[in-house]
Structure 1
Amino acid sequence: MNGDWLLRGRDGRLSVYQSSGDAVLCRVERAPGGPWDEPRKVGGEQRLLPVLAVGQGADRYAHLVAWRPTVQGEAGLVHSTHFRARLAALDWNPVGHPNKKGDRTGTPAVAVDAEGRAHVFVRNKGGGVSMLAQKEKGGWEPWQDIRGKGVQDGLAAVTGESGRVELYAAVPEGLLYWRQEEPGARPVLKESLKAPVRPGTLYALATSPASTTLYYTGTGGELWAWRPGGEPVALLPSAGHGPVAAVRCELDGHDCTLLAQRSASGRVAFAAYPTELESAGAWWTESGPQLTVDARVSLGTDEDGRVVAATLSPSTGTLLLTRRKDEPGLALEAWRAV
């Protein structure tokens, strides 16, 4: 899984996406805040490989990208759009391979610009990054190599408040950062950072009109925050080994960023701080039951603006959910299985 898999649709309902065997499944609330439907297959009967990238635009349409097997030893990428989670998604549409053909080259990442065009990024066979972008009036532009060298798996794609798409990648010596200069333009490699980065821990979030913030874990176990143009800031020790999830929310009248991560103890750890004010400090508070080792965490907000946290354990299929209580601070309801 790459990207936020807990989403709020245009109708206010929450939905979750997961890769399951050779398919992608979706679960959705029957009504905002209400009971949930059973999992349903997304995109038709196409057989998929167990990897999924999810992105959502300002229109709240979900864009899903996965690899599918083609011929022996080879695979290709497919894309589907889910306009409303309680309706059927579009069938999986083949969108090709960054090297024209071959086996999987990496886990894709998806971001959606202000015009609702999906941008798909994936590591290519040469160790750089290739991109595929939707045309404004349908269809796809040709694959483009946007450079990079020694790129490791786990790209983090994000759309800034400007509506322009940005991308972060880990390389052996640190981080790379791409940004669109104009809407619809090819993202340009703008900056590199020398830093010890643990691969597979990148998560990017739009944090102001001018900036996105990348969260990553260093090789020493610290969770860092980096905004291009500045220096990375050590925020607090990482609670666990996987990537964090993050969401902007209002806490007691303040614009805050909430982080969540499966902790080393197996529970969900939360930390909040004023957005882009890392110097204020943050600390972890654990919540909920112990989770399986493969459990992932995602954060979002419901139609009332309340923080929602979800955990999904692929090995068991267990989906747990909690919401913020209507009271000061970050008090959460009891976790419940849905």
Structure 2
Amino acid sequence: MNGDWLIRGRDGRLTVYLPSGDAVLCRAERGPAGSWDAPRTVGGTQKLHPGVAVGQGADGYAHLAAWRPTVPGESGLVHSTHFRPRLAPLDWVPIGHPDKKGDRTGEPAVAVDAQGRGYVFVRTKGGGVGLRNQKEKGGWGPWQDLGGSEVEGELAAVTGESGLVEVYAAAAGGILHWRQEEPGRTPVRGEGIDVPARPGTLRALATSAGHTTLFFTDTSGDLCAWRPGEKPVTLIASAGPGPVSSVRCEIEGHDCTVLAQRSSSGRVAFAAYPTEQESAGAWWTESGPRLPADAAVSLALDEHDEVVAASLSPSTGMLLLTRRKDEPGLALEAWREI
């Protein structure tokens, strides 16, 4: 899964998106903080390759992208929109291949602009980044080659508070960055950084009116934060090998960034610090049971704008959830299976 697979819909209910063989499933709360519906298949009967990307717009709608097999040895990307947790997602719509045809080139990433248009990014066969996005009056524009080379691992797509779309990519010797200059325009490549980032560890978050922050793990094992125009900052030693999940929330009256990651011990580790104030420091606190090695973690805000976390193990199908208690700090309830 690429992106935040635990999201809050526009009606306040939470939804999770789950990989399941050659399909993607979704589950939704029946009511805020209530019981959960049984899993439903996303997008109809179309068979998919493993891996799906999720993005969410300010309107609360979820956009999903995945690869599907087409003819032997080739694949194409498909897109679906999920308007409300209790409604069925739309059927998968084919959106093609960044190189016109061929097999999978990399995991897609999805962002949604202020006008609710989906942007699907994916690595190209040549090692750069390709983009296809929805048009203002419906339908999809052509595939565009954004450039870049030697891109590795998953892309990190994000929408800033301005509604402008950005995407980050790990490449040989550094991190690449593209950003829209105006609504509806093609993102353009901006300043990157020469830093040894581990592919597959990038995660981006809108952290202020003018900035998004990229979290990544460097080759020494440190979790770092970078905002274009500034120097990267070492925040804390990474708790585990994968990417962090991140969310902003208010804790005791302060705008904070909360991070979660499956730790090397197998439990979920949490850290929080004042948003964009990495110099304040952060510390990991582990929570919950030990999880399988393939377990992923996702953070969201619930209907009360409080932190909620989910962990998912594809190999076991176990889905666990916890919420912040009504107590000072980042105290969490006991994890429960849903």
TM-score class, shorter-chain normalisation, is over 0.9
Q: Report how far residue 86 of structure 1 moved.
A: 1.2
Q: Report how far residue 88 of structure 1 moved.
A: 1.1
Percent identity between the aligned chains?
72
Distance between the aligned counterparts of 1:12 and 1:280, measured in 2? 32
Equivalent position of 1:182 in the other structure: 182
Q: How does 1:1-338 map to 2 (within 5 A)?
A: 1-338=1-338
Q: Report how far residue 327 of structure 1 moved.
A: 1.4
Distance between the aligned counterparts of 1:70 and 1:275, measured in 2? 44
- Cα deviation digits, residues 238-281 of structure 1 (max 9, x gap): 00000000000101100000000000000000000000000000
Structure 2 counterpart of 1:92, one-letter code:
W
Q: Report how far residue 81 of structure 1 moved.
A: 0.4
- Cα deviation digits, residues 173-193 of structure 1 (max 9, x gap): 010010000000000000121
Q: Report how far residue 153 of structure 1 moved.
A: 2.1
Structure 2 counterpart of 1:263, one-letter code:
S
Distance between the aligned counterparts of 1:46 and 1:139, measured in 2? 20
Distance between the aligned counterparts of 1:88 and 1:36, measured in 2? 15
SS of 1:191 mapped into structure 2: coil
SS of 2:152 mapped into structure 1: coil
Distance between the aligned counterparts of 1:150 and 1:189, measured in 2? 15
Distance between the aligned counterparts of 1:154 and 1:94, measured in 2? 21
Distance between the aligned counterparts of 1:335 and 1:137, measured in 2? 44
Q: Report how far residue 15 of structure 1 moved.
A: 0.5
Structure 2 counterpart of 1:102, one-letter code:
G
Distance between the aligned counterparts of 1:229 and 1:11, measured in 2? 37
Structure 2 counterpart of 1:186, one-letter code:
T
- Deviates most, 326-335 or 207-216: 326-335
Q: State the aligned residue count.
A: 338
Q: Report how far residue 300 of structure 1 moved.
A: 0.4
Distance between the aligned counterparts of 1:153 and 1:32, measured in 2? 35
Structure 1 counterpart of 2:91, one-letter code:
D
Structure 1 counterpart of 2:328, one-letter code:
P
- Cα deviation digits, residues 69-112 of structure 1 (max 9, x gap): 00000000000001112111110000000000000000000000
Structure 2 counterpart of 1:55, one-letter code:
G
Structure 1 counterpart of 2:288, one-letter code:
G
Distance between the aligned counterparts of 1:28 and 1:293, measured in 2? 25
Distance between the aligned counterparts of 1:31 and 1:260, measured in 2? 25
SS of 1:279 mapped into structure 2: helix
Distance between the aligned counterparts of 2:209 and 2:274, measured in 1? 16
- Cα deviation digits, residues 169-219 of structure 1 (max 9, x gap): 000101001000000000000012100111100000000000000000000
Structure 1 counterpart of 2:249, one-letter code:
C
The gaps in structure 2 that reach 5 residues or longer are none
Distance between the aligned counterparts of 2:221 and 2:268, measured in 1? 17
Structure 1 counterpart of 2:179, one-letter code:
R
SS of 1:182 mapped into structure 2: coil
Distance between the aligned counterparts of 1:265 and 1:104, measured in 2? 33
Structure 2 counterpart of 1:16, one-letter code:
V
The gaps in structure 1 that reach 5 residues or longer are none
Structure 2 counterpart of 1:116, one-letter code:
G
Distance between the aligned counterparts of 1:8 and 1:271, measured in 2? 21
> TM-score of the superposition, structure 2-length normalised?
0.99
Q: CA RMSD in A?
A: 0.5
